Amino acid sequence: MLPRDKSDTTSSKSPTSKPEHSAGLDTPIQFVKGVGPKLGAVFNSRDISTVRDLFQFFPRGYEDRSQSKNIEGLQDGVKATLTVRVLGSRSIPIQKLGRSLFEVRCTDLASSGTLSLKWFHMPRGLDRRMISGTQFVVTGKVKDFQGRKEIVHPEITWGTVLEEAKVEGNSANVGRIVPIYVELEGVPSRTLRKVLWEALEKFGHEVPEDLPTHLTARHGLPSAAAAVRALHFPPEEVGTDLNALIEFDTPAHRRLIYDEFFKFEYLMLRQKLNVERSSALAFGHQGGVDGVKGLISEMPFKLTRGQLNAIREVLDDLKQPHPMNRLVQGDVGSGKTAVAFLTAACVIAEGDQVALMAPTEILAEQHFFNLKKLWGEKIPAVLLTGKATTAERNRVLKQLSAGQPLLVIGTHALLEDWLVFPNLSYVLIDEQHRFGVEQRRILRNKGSRVDPASGKSILPHSLILTATPIPRTLALTAFADLMVSTISELPPGRSPIKTRVVRDASQRTQAYDLIRNELAQGRQAYFIFPLVNDSEAEGFTHLKSAVAQAEHLAQEIFPGYRVGLLHGQMRPEQKAVVMEQFKLGEVKVLVSTTVVEVGVDVPNATVIAIEHAERFGLSQLHQLRGRVGRGQHQSYCLLFAAQARGGTVGERLDVLEQTQDGFKIAEADLEIRGPGEFLGTRQAGSLPFRLGNLVRDRDLLVQARDDAMQVIKDDPDLKDAANRSLKDYFIREGEKQFGRLGTF
């Protein structure tokens, strides 16, 4: 049991008026001592409704209040905690504010100097407590005001003296390293600490051990109960190592981080197991694979080893009577589309339907035309985008509902209700990060049905493609239920793109010269402007600036060359016209927002200049850069960046100058920007880690993953008594957790 907090006894309300609850960790938060209905509502609004939830309200940091300072040694701007004795107090009227300032002058126990405590909003009754000679502990940021030390609106802990608190280790708020919580509206930190202290004292021992002890013991990790307690109120021996605490690197932190990683991995792997155990139609046993080989032999280029591997892996999956759930990752230009087409061909050859969804019309069209160019009518395909007329829609629908084997290439239009696929057995999603979980699920659901032959319910196979390499830690988390194929090389004959960060005016002049030089040699260039925010709608402000810049570039910088403009708010026909002009080489400079990020393929373009490069994620810049370097000419990427203030912007972009390795860039991006870049904000938000950090705690993640895999292998149905606690946990919380995670 935690020792009782003496300082609390004076201020706490009588608990007798509250009903006695024996619900343990399920005790509603408002019945925790010191909470009540009002504070309870604040907690509830943060999804904290029980003691169990409260314990999960982990500190975001810590502050050392174990040592008392002398006033003499206090430094300007530094937060300090010290025991003081009141010398006197007064109210100073401030005309401007129409109220008064309350000032308390005090000294420390060694009388080393004087300190002013000031309140612009004095808490009721404070003046009556500030009697000369009173001692208490004060915490706050020290300021030097006209040569005198002061703290404005300090935090006060009554009824204790730091020196005493330290000896007895008996306070939530002083005499120790104290936890810092995320601020809750109108609730002082000290109140949060007290509430947690009380709750831990009463219920801390009830925190269950969810993980098998054979795992925690092997890793030398403390029990869950001990860890929860130590995380909120670090014991003395840990409490001396503030750095370890701040870096979440104490045994308690590691235990709870491992805990959440393990549970997550276990859930994901179970989910994967469930999918693997469900049914799908198998393809490739009736000549489909030979058909694919035939198509490969007709291609004008040789597939890379990586492409062939990926194709083989997918075809092997398709042969199984269980749904494939696979991700193909490969850098921009690595030729993922060929993998998609050729594997789709196998399913179509054996009589079923396939859907390929791309994030933009430009991309869907390009896929469609490339398919035609490569194989003509040998892979029956239709294009379906938002542009399709009613007649076209009806025709597609008719073909599909007649059960014709067909590859439907399209945009979000594929998700519309009217589009039904009676035989949809394979679903492909290009540029997965551009879609939400829900959209992928909708498309997949169009293929889930009852197989008339066997009467079993079946799911389609699913393949997602991404040009943003998934850092390993994410592959283990958000994508843990996927198999991964990696295409690690580019087709031969592509020379590395020279990348330069352009920081000042003279560099900009040089950059323009370089572009003019390329244009003079008949090459073409992209100019990219960012979106204001990363929502799907394009920001208006920058849209305007792209428009304005197109003018400027045409008239001032590149007179004599035709400049075209492309942005997301243009009508599809307009976009198509501009794209066509650029492809044909009529437009020499294409000013665009990030609509060209994915898929545009113009080999004669050798320069991509990106304005406000500092606003983009590194992986996104890397993808944009992949628009050039597609022909035989040397290509360039120019990153215009605003002058870096902190220096970090510059460093970030330097990664792009130094490497073309999408994986390295992705890792750097994950460190700098977190998982949102790879998952889309919604998915990233659904990673349920409160303590764990994918970058910092990578070792624990890998360990947890390996352990979860081992448990599933050794004891898939958790029958072993040694795994009893884990089973209890999933019976208790599994459903809830599954619901939250969804499928990625």
Residues within the interface to ligand ADP (CB under 6 A): 301-304, 307, 330, 332-338, 467, 491, 601
CB-nearer residue toward ligand ADP: 133 or 300: 300
CB-nearer residue toward ligand ADP: 272 or 494: 494
Least distance in angstroms from the C-beta of 423 to ligand ADP: 26
Cα gap 257→375, rounded to integer Å: 52
Least distance in angstroms from the C-beta of 433 to ligand ADP: 13
DSSP state of 478: T
CB-nearer residue toward ligand ADP: 302 or 690: 302
CB-nearer residue toward ligand ADP: 348 or 600: 600
CB-nearer residue toward ligand ADP: 204 or 629: 629
In sequence order, the β-bridge partners of residue 317 are none
Least distance in angstroms from the C-beta of 600 to ligand ADP: 9
**β-strand 155-157 against 135-145: which pairing, if any?**
antiparallel
Residues in contact with 397: Cβ distance below 8 Å, sequence separation at least 6, in sequence order? 418, 419, 420
CB-nearer residue toward ligand ADP: 257 or 332: 332
3-state secondary structure at position 426: strand
Least distance in angstroms from the C-beta of 342 to ligand ADP: 11
Give Cα 595 distance to the centre of its chain. 22
DSSP H or E stretch at residue 683: helix 676-685
Least distance in angstroms from the C-beta of 374 to ligand ADP: 7
What amino acid occupies position 392?
A: E
Least distance in angstroms from the C-beta of 372 to ligand ADP: 12
Tokens describing residue 301: 């280029």
Least distance in angstroms from the C-beta of 485 to ligand ADP: 12
Please, what's the b/e burial string for 482-493 (b: 16 or more CB within 10 A of its CB; e: otherwise)? bbebbbbebbee
Least distance in angstroms from the C-beta of 679 to ligand ADP: 19
CB-nearer residue toward ligand ADP: 332 or 354: 332
Least distance in angstroms from the C-beta of 310 to ligand ADP: 10
In sequence order, the β-bridge partners of residue 525 are 589, 607
Cα gap 118→143, rounded to integer Å: 11
CB-nearer residue toward ligand ADP: 172 or 339: 339
Cα gap 462→443, rounded to integer Å: 10
DSSP state of 95: T
CB 513 within 8 A of CB 521: no
Cα gap 298→270, rounded to integer Å: 42
Residue of minimal Cβ distance to ligand ADP: 335
Least distance in angstroms from the C-beta of 469 to ligand ADP: 11
What torsion, rounded to 10 degrees, do the Cα atoms 153, 157, 158, 160 define? -140
Residues in contact with 592: Cβ distance below 8 Å, sequence separation at least 6, in sequence order? 526, 527, 528, 529, 546, 565, 566, 567
Burial class (CB in 10 A: 0-12, 13-18, 19+), 639: buried
Cα gap 430→441, rounded to integer Å: 14
Least distance in angstroms from the C-beta of 59 to ligand ADP: 44
Q: Which of 741, 712, 738, 739 is nearest to 266 (CA)?
A: 712
CB-nearer residue toward ligand ADP: 411 or 723: 411
Least distance in angstroms from the C-beta of 640 to ligand ADP: 24
HEC readout, 232-289: HCCCHHHHCCHHHHHCCCCHHHHHHHHHHHHHHHHHHHHHHHHHHHCECCCCCCCCHH
CB-nearer residue toward ligand ADP: 369 or 540: 369
CB 352 within 8 A of CB 489: no
CB 603 within 8 A of CB 634: no
CB 657 within 8 A of CB 630: no
Least distance in angstroms from the C-beta of 691 to ligand ADP: 37
Least distance in angstroms from the C-beta of 333 to ligand ADP: 5
CB-nearer residue toward ligand ADP: 74 or 381: 381
CB-nearer residue toward ligand ADP: 330 or 675: 330
CB-nearer residue toward ligand ADP: 333 or 617: 333
> Which DSSP string do the residues of 184-221 spell out, in sequence order?
BTTB-HHHHHHHHHHHHHHHGGG----S-HHHHHHTTP
Residue 710: CB atoms within 10 Å: 11
CB-nearer residue toward ligand ADP: 179 or 335: 335
Least distance in angstroms from the C-beta of 664 to ligand ADP: 18
Least distance in angstroms from the C-beta of 591 to ligand ADP: 23
Least distance in angstroms from the C-beta of 607 to ligand ADP: 19
Residues in contact with 641: Cβ distance below 8 Å, sequence separation at least 6, in sequence order? 501, 502, 503, 612, 613, 614, 649, 650, 653
CB-nearer residue toward ligand ADP: 302 or 724: 302
Burial class (CB in 10 A: 0-12, 13-18, 19+), 499: buried
CB-nearer residue toward ligand ADP: 297 or 535: 297
CB 41 within 8 A of CB 99: no
CB-nearer residue toward ligand ADP: 26 or 601: 601
In sequence order, the β-bridge partners of residue 118 are 103, 152
Angle, CA of 578, 581 and 585, to the nearest 5°: 140
